[in-house]
A and B are shown apart, each in its own frame.
Chain A
Amino acid sequence: MDKQKTNTSFKNTINTKKKMTAQETVAKAIFALAAVFAILSVVSIIIYLLIAGIPALKEIGIFNFLFGTTWSPSYDGPASEKFGILPMIVGSIIATFGALTIGGTLGILVAVFLVYFCPKKLKTALTQTISLLAGIPSVVYGYFGLKQIVPLLAKISPNNNGTGILAVSLVLGIMILPTVASLAKDALSSVSPTYYEGALALGMTKEQAVFRIMMPSAKSGIMTALGLGIGRAVGETMAVIMVAGNTVQFPKGLFEGFMTLTGNIVMDMSYAMGVHRSALVATGFVLLMFILCLNCVLYFIKNSQKIKDKANQKDKKNCHKYNFDTASSKAIVYANKTKLYTVIKYICFAATIIMLAAIAYLILFIVIKGIIAFGRVGVLNFLFGKSGAGYISLAPAFVSTGALILIALAIALPIGISAAIFLVEYSRKNSVFVQIIRLFTDTLSGIPSIVFGLFGVIVFNDFFGLNYSLLSGGLTLSIMILPTIVRSVEESLLAVPLMYREASFALGAGKLHTIAKIVLPCAIKGILTATILSIGRIVSESAALLLTAGSVKNMPASITSPGSSFAVMMYMFASEGMYMDETYATALVLLVLVVIINMLVFAIAPKGKEKKV
């Protein structure tokens, strides 16, 4: 009888989908548009690079382009030109492999130390150090490599040449270390502690539990960490060109000059024309394709892990049993290998020491050299003195960097915040749409800055006729920092308790009002963090700016004039060879900025999470 009633009364179901006011509808549409911006960006980067690269591919032929072994642009005419990028592809692969061997290994070992063997008191300091390492600009790494690592290697090199594969591997290794370490750390800390306890209960030592149970459980996370490390290494430009030796040839040995895909683009782009220019864009496209494939692989690793997790959750009992079974068998097999694991533990410790030594070396080097240099060029004079027409100072860099930050934030903050609002407040959790946007946002954040630079040149400099200008640089940067903003604002919106929203709705407030008056003010810390992180990224950026905003040393007249940020300025000082003091002094300024930015992020970010672990 009950059932019958249910069926008949279905007809007068009340429509609870409340009608939105016009204002709410418009707002929602705007937020949705902002959310698809990441998709639009990725798609248009692919399309524009492809369009601009096609002339070269047609002229040269895809096969000759990818597998040609000579790269020789010339002005005698197309007949004598050759554009083969195979040496650069091989160069990039080998350099990445070298970086991964050094930085990837060290990064994972440091992460293991940090999660399992680090005294609690040191944890925060170590985490902070790792994020500082991640924030130091490529040009500073490159210059450090050029001035310290290369001369050192030259001494042990059979041909007295320090530049080449080994130098690049070392520099890139240090650079990807923080990426790998911090992601691997996250992966390890998210493994359920019950596994660990179970292993200990079965008589495994702490070391055995970590290496036989915890590390294998975090496998996919660690692989993702390494994958992102690869992405960073492949895309790195400025540090590489300072220590690679830059001769277009197959890397013949550890100490022979070679060239990477990125290096070739940034070195030739400033003067290339016609087919040459198009060939450089096509090189960027090859790089982009590689990164996109890498992203796909990482996506599948992540997804398959998620499916596994879900299955595990569904069948917790069995999973537990399984883990205990494997744990017990392993405990038996490895019971007498305790020593080996103790040794590995000390290796983790050593890796951490190596990392700390490297960062101490780099910081001391920059600080000491920087202070001496400032003494020679005069602090005030160099920071704020006259510039242009024979005078050198950083005053233009202050202005240019400031302008770039303002332009980029003015565009990216509203779009990023709106996108985050759409994802959190207007979409169902984990709906397909949200997942697609996340995927594209992640993809966007993995694209190398040199590719953004090419995109900026094609679209802003050439198509919109902005030429080398702060505006063009700022626009390019705004796309680069968008993923950071979306991600960290999204996180902070998700952290705002649902009950605040409920309370506001119950008082009669609409969605928009609730977001504006309750949700956003609660998320203000996340928004600030996103802003500061973005500023950090802008301050340390150089490759993309070199292509889009130019590299002049004088004061920009307006946002349509070219201008150099600190990092670009430092690269110009370094590459022109006659401004050694100025280079060190600028490096010190950059270092100070990065330290300040790092401290701000740590001061603002919610600390509860970090402390509880």
Chain B
Amino acid sequence: MKVKEIEKFNLEETAINIQNANLYYGSFQALKDINMQIKKGEITAFIGPSGCGKSTLLKCLNRMNDLVENCKIEGKFEIGGRDIYAQGMMLQMLRKNVGMVFQKPNPFPMSVYDNITYAPRLYGIRDKSTLNEIVEKSLKGAAMWNELKDRLNKSALALSGGQQQRLCIARALSVDPQILLMDEPTSALDPISTGKIEELCSSLKENVTIVMVTHNMQQAARVSDKTGFFLLGELIEFDETENIFSNPQKEQTERYITGRFG
């Protein structure tokens, strides 16, 4: 099999552009007229109470909602100026360039090495030395090369929760994504692992645009550049993180943040 050359998005200053987005699960409207622009090279945090649609919006960005029955989407989702729901859009191209890290660490039940080479192999890379390079680069990117370089053939399920989650990040990095979507990546982890992942995000943002859902206000304040506050499917406020936490414009935002932050 030939190595598949998969083109990248041509990210301008605005990496992601969402316009008039509505989403329905059956008759239930989960997203209501969302408009937002996400900047390249920044970390954007989505906050808001449970069920307000943060994960739903995140999943629109790599079209994971396609798998959901009865899910109806309206509006425009552009990445690098390209409509990702257009007819000609290749799902592979989208998902290769827009990686995802889930709430619960979900490494495949295989070795560390096979976890990371899963996607490169999918895209046709068979050459052993290239694969080795990718493994090293991805693990270094996820700051766990030193931890794992001697355990590449061990099962990924034998790692601790925090290590598993960082392995999932490394797995996402294996195909060199431009955007990384993270849905509460630290909610299942202890504080030390959480700290490591936060550090990791900061170091990644040079190369990768990160969109992260979090329930932890401190985390949003620590790592993100921009923060969006969602309520009942609506984007209430979207601004510089500093402004959101120190000087929110909307009353709902203020009420939500007071008591959770400070």
Contact = CB atoms under 8 A, between A and B. Distances in A.
Contact of A9 (B75, B85, B91, B110): B75
A8 to B, nearest CB: 10
A2 interface: yes
B196 interface: no
Interface string B111-124: 00000001100110
Contacts of A504: 108, 118
A80 interface: no
Given A6-B29, A9-B22, A502-B102, A508 B73 contact: no
A501 to B, nearest CB: 9
Contacts of B110: 521
Contacts of B104: 499
B71 A16 contact: yes
B62 interface: yes
A42 interface: no
A512 to B, nearest CB: 11
B76 to A, nearest CB: 9
A13 B73 contact: yes
- In this complex, which of A13, A500, A503 has the most chain B Cβ atoms within 10 angstroms of its Cβ? A503
Contacts of B32: 2
A502 B122 contact: no
Contacts of A518: 108
Interface in B101-156: 102, 104, 106-110, 118-119, 122-123
A18 interface: yes
Interface string B26-48: 00010011000000000000000
A508 B123 CA distance: 9
Interface string A297-325: 00000000000000000000000000000
A16 B63 contact: yes
A266 to B, nearest CB: 48
Interface stretch (B92-100, B212-220, B249-257): B92-100
Interface in A514-551: 517-518, 521-522
B33 A506 contact: no
A499 B92 contact: no
B95 A505 contact: yes
A507 B66 contact: no
A503 B99 contact: no
Nearest to A501: B67
A13 B123 CA distance: 31
Interface string A10-50: 10111111100000000000000000000000000000000
A337 interface: no
B64 A517 contact: no
Given A9-B20, A428-B69, A513-B122, A506 B74 contact: no
Nearest to B234: A2
Contacts of A500: 106, 108-109
Nearest to B100: A506
A522 B102 contact: no
A504 B71 CA distance: 21
A517 B75 CA distance: 35
A12 B63 CA distance: 17
Interface of A: 2, 5-6, 9-10, 12-18, 428, 497, 499-500, 502-510, 513, 517-518, 521-522
B171 interface: yes
B73 A507 contact: no
A89 B67 CA distance: 54
Contact of A507 (B67, B74, B95): B95
B97 to A, nearest CB: 9
A527 to B, nearest CB: 15
Contacts of B172: 506-507
Contact of A522 (B22, B67, B109, B123): B109
Given A12-B74, A499-B102, 18 more contacts: A5-B33, A10-B74, A14-B74, A15-B85, A16-B85, A18-B91, A499-B104, A500-B109, A503-B102, A503-B107, A503-B108, A505-B64, A506-B100, A506-B172, A507-B122, A508-B93, A508-B94, A508-B95
Interface string B161-182: 0000000100110010000000
Contacts of A428: 69
Contacts of B118: 504, 507, 509, 517
Contacts, number: 90
A505 B71 CA distance: 17
A505 B67 contact: yes
Nearest to B90: A508
B131 to A, nearest CB: 15
B72 interface: yes
Nearest to B62: A506
B65 interface: yes
Contact of A16 (B22, B73, B92, B108): B73
A180 to B, nearest CB: 37
A504 B20 CA distance: 30
A9 B74 contact: yes
Contacts of B171: 503, 507
Contacts of B99: 506-507
A232 B138 CA distance: 58
Nearest to B95: A508
With most chain B CB atoms within 10 A of its CB, the pick from A2, A502, A506 is A506
Chain A CB within 10 A, most for which of B73, B75, B99, B106: B106
24 contacts: A5-B33, A6-B29, A9-B74, A10-B74, A12-B74, A12-B75, A13-B72, A13-B73, A13-B74, A14-B85, A17-B66, A18-B66, A500-B108, A503-B102, A503-B106, A505-B64, A506-B62, A506-B64, A506-B95, A508-B91, A510-B91, A513-B122, A518-B108, A521-B110
A505 B96 CA distance: 10
A18 B93 CA distance: 13
A14 B20 CA distance: 12
Contacts of B119: 507-509
| A-B interface, 6 closest residue pairs, ranked by CB to CB distance from nearest | A508-B95, A499-B106, A506-B100, A507-B119, A14-B85, A508-B92
A605 B179 CA distance: 42
Contacts of A497: 106
A47 to B, nearest CB: 36
A509 B99 CA distance: 12
A517 B71 CA distance: 27
A6 to B, nearest CB: 7
A16 B71 CA distance: 8
Contacts of A509: 118-119, 122
B122 A16 contact: no
B212 to A, nearest CB: 15
A506 B107 CA distance: 12
Contacts of A513: 122
Centre residue among A14, A17, A503 by max chain B CB count within 10 A: A14
